[in-house]
Amino acid sequence: MSSTGRKIHVLGAGLVGPLMAVYLARKGFQVELIERRPDMRKTDIAAGRSINLALTARGIRALKGVRLAEEVMKIAIPMKGRMVHDREGHTQLQPYGQKPEEVIYAVSRGLLNMLLLDAAEKCDGLNITFNRRCAGYDEKTGALTLQDEGTGAQETVETNVVIGADGAWSALRKSMMGAVENFSYAQDFLDYGYKELVIPSAADGGFLMEKHALHIWPHKSFMMIALPNTDGSFTVTLFYPYKGENSFEKLTMEAEVTAFFSEYFPDALPLMPGLTQDFFANPTGALVTVKCRPWHIGGKALLLGDAAHAIVPFFAQGMNSGFEDCAILNAMIEGDNPDWQAVFEKFSAARKPDTDAIADMAVENFTEMRDSVTDPRFLLKKKVGFEIERRWPEKFIPRYSMVIFHDEIPYAEARRRGALQAKLLEKLCADIDSPDDVDWRQAEKLVGEML
């Protein structure tokens, strides 16, 4: 086979692109990794972007596949559960799981990206080019047009296989949309935007709130969260409606912002000296779900990660599902001369139901985070669910745990099993107010019948 045949172009050196590039290079492919932005290791990260995120089992497993998990864990902070803050400043920890290892990890997006770029650069046969925008892709010839972001000069390169890991607003997907007949596509925005803020570290570099938790201030129709950073700070994110009575459009002056935080986040306000400045300096981000089909053009081009399935952040599975894509695709690439069309078809068919499922669950989970976590019925069912898992672990795993901790359970299966479990919990908890009142004979019967 010719050397062009062994060459793969990967678009996007964000999180998913470099990981896929490393997977491919370690399989012996020659990889051209192409990124629109400058090398982030040499310039500042763009302001206002999500600057930390939660790494969970699926992502960790994919990192293990290229022996990068250990290194990533060095910059990861375990979070044991949700620390729920009320308007009096009281807090309550709601554990994510019930085993010691059932934690999720806060990781700096920037540090993780740099680590992945470093790892990619060390691979034989892997070349990274920055400052090149994908300005077009010809699906007939495989010609990829790249534009130098500095000079504006365009060059056209021949490609054998192109993998678009170029994010929610993928340029490759845009080309596919124009070229592929009957291309199904959906971009679905929530009525909410988000604003990133910061709680800096203490004077001594320590944490001003519990380090090992994901903090939530739930207010039914909106919420704020905070994740720890290794430097002692927290990245704070306010999720708030764009319009209406309580919304971003009503927060136009410093006094309004301060009053709003004083009312709803009284314990956070004193920890945020730069609040009003950040609030007006940082952009309001949008929350979008992107679905599309097909993900590939024959054996020539494939979309991966956010480019194929961008999701909202409320299940912390954006990066994790993208990383999982890499491991799953990698496992389907066999031999030196794979039948790429067959690989891409198999990958799409296997993966799309799962990414559709996590997309929908992520939207649902917004309601859980901003509203249900303060609902006694929700908390009762959560506790009863953990107890059922203890008693019948083969039959019942809480949906949250399936998604977050059980990388062997595909997302679609987690959703399917989760729906049955929700019905079971509904029946079991209908007439009780405490986990102590559960009728365990009935529980055993229902578990046997329903699951």
Residues that bind its own copies (CB under 8 A): 181-189, 242, 286, 288, 291
The secondary structure of residue 8, as a DSSP letter, is: E
Structure tokens at 26: 């370690």
State the minimum distance, in angstroms, from the CB of residue 238 to its own copies.
17
Q: Which two tokens stand for residue 334?
A: 């066999």
At its nearest, how many Å lie between its own copies and the CB of residue 147?
20
Residue 196, φ and ψ in degrees, nearest 5: -90, 135
Our CB check for its own copies shows the closer of 185 and 440 to be 185
Query: Which residue, 195 or 291, has its beta carbon nearer to its own copies?
Result: 291
Strand partners, 76: 107
Q: What is the CA radius of gyration of the chain?
A: 23
In terms of CB distance, is 184 or 252 closer to its own copies? 184
Strands (E), 74-183: 76-79, 81-85, 91-95, 104-108, 126-129, 132-137, 144-148, 154-157, 161-164
Our CB check for its own copies shows the closer of 45 and 286 to be 286
Report, in Å, the least distance between residue 229 CB and its own copies: 29
Please say whether the beta carbons of 392 and 447 come within 8 A. Answer: yes
Q: Yes or no: say if 248 and 193 are a contact pair by the CB < 8 Å rule.
A: yes
Q: Kindly tell me which of 43 and 184 has the beta carbon lying closer to its own copies.
A: 184
Residue with token string 């790892």: 119
Token readout for 18 is 């470099």
Supply the minimum distance, in Å, between the C-beta of residue 136 and its own copies: 18
Residues contacting 324, CB < 8 A, separation 6+: 58, 59, 61, 62, 407
Sign of CA dihedral 44, 48, 50, 51: positive
Of 291 and 309, which has the nearer Cβ to its own copies? 291
Least Å distance, CB 353 to its own copies, is: 15
Those residues whose C-beta lies under 8 Å from the C-beta of residue 394, and which sit 6 or more positions away, are none
Backbone angles phi, psi at 131, to 5 degrees: 60, 30
Alpha-carbon gap, residue 120 to 114, rounded angstroms: 10
Complex with its own copies: residue 199 or 362, whichever CB lies closer: 362
> Minimal distance in Å, beta carbon 306 to its own copies?
17
3-state class (DSSP) for residue 234? strand
Residue (67 or 243) nearer to its own copies, CB: 243
* Minimum gap (Å) between residue 48 Cβ and its own copies: 15
What does DSSP assign to residue 45? P
Closest CB 298 distance from its own copies, rounded Å: 13
| Shortest Å, Cβ 378 to its own copies | 25
Which residue, 44 or 181, has its beta carbon nearer to its own copies?
Answer: 181
The CA distance from 253 to 230, in Å, is: 32
Nearest approach, Cβ of residue 182 and its own copies (Å) = 4
Residue 360 or residue 413: which is nearer to its own copies going by CB? 360
Would you say 71 or 345 has its CB closer to its own copies?
Answer: 345
One-letter amino acid of 336: D
CB of 356 to its own copies, least distance (A): 12
The answer to whether 282 and 151 have CB atoms below 8 angstroms apart is no
Distance CA 272, CA 228 (A): 14
Beta-carbon neighbour count of residue 181 at 10 Å? 4
**Which DSSP symbol is given to 156?**
E
